[in-house]
Amino acid sequence: RQRQQQRQRQRRQQQQQRQRHMQQICDTLKQQQQRQQRQTEKSAKKMNKKSENNNSHKCRYL
């Protein structure tokens, strides 16, 4: 009986760890998406602010 209980406990712990791991992955993905959105918004604002002669500037560097 003791062995069975131990096995059940181990299984439960593994499931919890897996769930926690998935939760972490989801959180990091959400954070990355939010960060990307913010960056694209910033760059869009910058692009709007700066005039076209900046684009030719970039072309020279590329």
Structure tokens at 35: 């960060």
Look at the pTM and tell me if it is higher than 0.85. Answer: no
Q: CA nearest 47: which of 58, 37, 36?
A: 58
| pLDDT tens digits, one per residue of 17-30 | 999 998 998 899 99
Helix (H, G, I), strand (E, B) or coil at 51: coil
DSSP structural state of residue 52: T
| pLDDT tens digits, one per residue of 6-19 | 999 999 999 999 99
Distance in angstroms (rounded) separating the CA atoms of residues 49 and 62: 21
H/E element, 55: helix 53-61
